[in-house]
Amino acid sequence: MSTNSVQINRSSKQKVMESVYTIIKTRSGRVTAKDIERDLGSKYEAHYAILHLTKQGKIRRVKGFGLNKIEFYYQSIE
C-alpha cells in the first residue's frame, strides 16, 4: 500500500455514503460527480461512496446532455 493513500475508518465511510446518497436523492437525480465532490470537499471520499453505492444497487449512472457536452448524472434507484 502506498504512503500517499488516504485512509478513512469504517464509520466515516458509512457516514460519507449516507451523505452522498442523501445528496443524490434530494436533487432528484440531476447531480454529477463534480457536484458531489464540491459538496463533500473530498474527491477521494466522493468517488469511494459513488463506487460502493453503485455496487450496492442504490444508485445508477445515467448519460444525459449537459451545457456543452454529454455528462453522467446519478439517480437513486430506491
pLDDT, residue 6, reads: 53
75 contacts 62 by C-beta, under 8 angstroms = yes
pTM above 0.85, yes or no: no
pLDDT, residue 58, reads: 94
Q: Give dist(CA 32, CA 61) in Å, integer.
A: 9
74 contacts 62 by C-beta, under 8 angstroms = yes
Architecture of domain 10-76: Orthogonal Bundle (1.10)
pLDDT, residue 2, reads: 45
Pinpoint the alpha helices (H) of 1-78.
10-26, 33-40, 43-56
* Domain residue ranges of the chain, discontinuous segments joined by +: 10-76
Q: pLDDT means per 10 residues in the chain (78 residues)?
A: 54 88 88 92 91 94 89 90
Q: What is the separation of C-alpha 24 from the centre of its chain, rounded to a whole number of angstroms? A: 8
41 contacts 21 by C-beta, under 8 angstroms = no
